């Protein structure tokens, strides 16, 4: 089977690399988290040694867990994601993947986006404020997390 | 098969590029290289907040600044079809070559001159 020989080819070249672990997820539904905090869900089609990913039928999903809401972008697209922007990627079990969504209300993507963006901006402002205080007191390199 | 190979094959298609900064560029892919540097034409550029829109005729984006590239879903199917066709064509070509070589041999033996 051509699929098996592709795998063997990859495993021979990338035996001890992270990329070798990705091959197991090809043609399966995956969830990808990006550095800017976005979540993408789709079918992984191909990848390379930098973990650049090609996601087919990809949608962006926004979770607003404190409001018990979620949103998905309307039109599925193919994403070619540059590897360095990926925080994590995981395989989804298609039988179980809808379970976490059951308790959540689905809202319009545009509304969710607005809420998400305002939260990001709040976090940035808060971080700037805190950093200024730290800097004034001689502490540099303070970090802040989004959540 | 590889992501950059896919990028190469969709030259001429409209794509959307999002940079790490958050700017988005919608345009037609004209060229790309192995570092993911790309050139687009007839581009609409907008900033991270989506407030200002600029129309630009040609743009060069250095690959290192790209977050991701978005394209139509049908392109992958088209790409896979082409790949399969190329594979078949390649095998067919190999078989043809074999036959031609045999015929060539015959002709040489048959005649005296060309």
Gap between the Cα atoms of A15 and A99, Å rounded: 35
Residue B48: CATH number of its domain: 2.30.30.100
Would you say residue B80 lies in a domain?
no
Record: contact A36-B76, CB cut-off 8 A: no
**Structural domain contains residue B16:** yes
User: B64 CA to chain A: closest CA distance, Å?
Assistant: 9
Residue A20 has a pLDDT of 73
Range of the domain at B43: 3-72
Cite the DSSP H helix spans in chain A: 2-13, 18-22, 99-102, 109-136
Would you say residue B60 lies in a domain?
Answer: yes
- Chain segment A28-64, per-residue pLDDT in tens: 999 999 999 999 999 999 999 889 999 999 999 999 9
Share of chain A above pLDDT 90, in %: 50
Does B94 map to a domain?
no
Cα distances from A43 to residues A33, A84, B42, B61, B73, in angstroms, run 14, 19, 30, 27, 11
Three-point CA angle B41, B6, A47, nearest 5°:
130
Whether B101 is covered by a domain: the verdict is no
Predicted pLDDT of residue A34: 96
The residue among B102 and B78 whose pLDDT is bigger is B78
Using the beta-carbon criterion (under 8 Å), do A46 and B73 form an inter-chain contact?
no
User: What integer best gives the mean pLDDT of chain B?
Assistant: 83
Q: Among all chains, which residue has been given the structure tokens 């993911």?
A: B36
Domain annotation covers residue B31: yes
Residues of chain A in contact with residue B6, where contact means CB-CB under 8 angstroms, are 46, 54, 80
Nearest-CA residue of chain A relative to B69? A80
| pTM of structure | 0.78
CB A84 within 8 A of CB B36: no
Average pLDDT, integer, range A76-92: 95
Contact A76 B73 (CB under 8 A): yes
Say if the Cβ atoms of A54 and B63 lie within 8 Å: no
Averaged pLDDT, B26-47 = 96
- Decide if A54 and B71 are in contact by the 8 Å CB cutoff: no
d(CA A110, CA A131): 31
A145: confidence class by pLDDT, cuts 50, 70, 90: low
Residue B109 has pLDDT above 80, yes or no: no
A90 versus A139: which is more confidently predicted? Answer: A90
| Residue B16 confidence (pLDDT) above 60 | yes
Task: Give the pLDDT score at A142.
Answer: 61
Read off the pLDDT band of B77 (50, 70, 90). Answer: confident
> When comparing pLDDT for A112 and A124, which is higher?
A112
pLDDT at A56 (0 to 100): 94
Paired residues of B14 in beta bridges: B28
| B99 falls within a domain | no
Number of domains in chain B: 1
Å from B51 to nearest chain A CA?
Answer: 13
At A135, list the tokens: 């800097």
> Within its chain, how far is the Cα of A80 from the centroid?
13
Considering only the beta carbons, identify the residue of A53, A57, A85 that sits closest to B3.
A53
């Amino acid at each position: 089977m051509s699929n098996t020989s592709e795998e063997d080819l990859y495993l021979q070249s990338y035996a001890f690399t992270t990329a070798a672990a990705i091959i197991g997820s090809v043609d399966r539904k995956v969830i990808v988290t990006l550095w800017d905090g976005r979540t993408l869900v789709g079918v992984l089609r191909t990848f390379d040694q930098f973990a650049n990913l090609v996601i087919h039928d990809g949608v962006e999903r926004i979770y607003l867990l404190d409001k018990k809401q979620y949103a998905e972008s309307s039109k599925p697209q193919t994403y070619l994601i540059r590897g360095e922007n990926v925080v994590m990627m995981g395989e989804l079990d298609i039988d179980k993947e809808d379970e976490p969504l059951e308790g959540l209300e689905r809202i319009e993507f545009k509304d969710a986006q607005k809420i998400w963006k305002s939260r990001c901006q709040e976090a940035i402002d808060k971080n700037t404020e805190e950093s200024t205080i730290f800097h004034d007191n001689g502490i540099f390199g303070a970090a802040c997390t989004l959540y | 098969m590889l992501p950059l190979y896919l990028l190469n094959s969709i030259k001429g298609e409209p794509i959307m590029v999002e940079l790490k900064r958050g700017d988005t560029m919608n345009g037609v892919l004209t060229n790309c290289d192995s570092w993911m540097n790309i050139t687009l034409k007839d581009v609409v550029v907008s900033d991270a907040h989506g407030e200002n829109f600029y129309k630009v005729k040609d743009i060069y984006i250095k690959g290192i600044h790209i977050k991701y590239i978005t394209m139509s879903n049908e392109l992958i199917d088209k790409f896979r079809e082409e790949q399969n066709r190329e594979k078949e064509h390649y095998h067919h070509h190999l078989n043809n070559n074999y036959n031609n070589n045999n015929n060539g041999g015959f002709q040489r033996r048959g005649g005296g001159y060309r």
